[in-house]
Structure 1
Amino acid sequence: MIKTYKVMLLPNNKQKTKLVECAGVARWAYNFALAQQQENHKQGGKFLSDG
């Protein structure tokens, strides 16, 4: 059985700024990798995996 816990974050302004920045970087990295995959597939290649 997997237990989960729900927590509420109460970041201050500096922490909020850092969280937003980290989310932006993660979004950029995801979109970059997705674009690479799509370009590779368009050129007849297979989708790359992490394994």
Structure 2
Amino acid sequence: ILLSSANMSDKPDLAEVSNFDKTKLKKTETQEKNPLPTKETIEQEKQATA
């Protein structure tokens, strides 16, 4: 049993990956949850705290 599990970890079975149907996936819009502040925002915050 140990021998067969070691052999499986050496080379993963890519058959499932190559047979995967991309057309079944839904298209989703990516939205930035935590966008980085602009230079203007950083400057305003620096002036507000100074």
Please give the TM-score of this superposition, normalised by the length of structure 2.
0.28
More helix by share: 1
Q: Which has the larger radius of gyration?
A: 2
Greater RCO, CA 8 A, separation 6+: 1
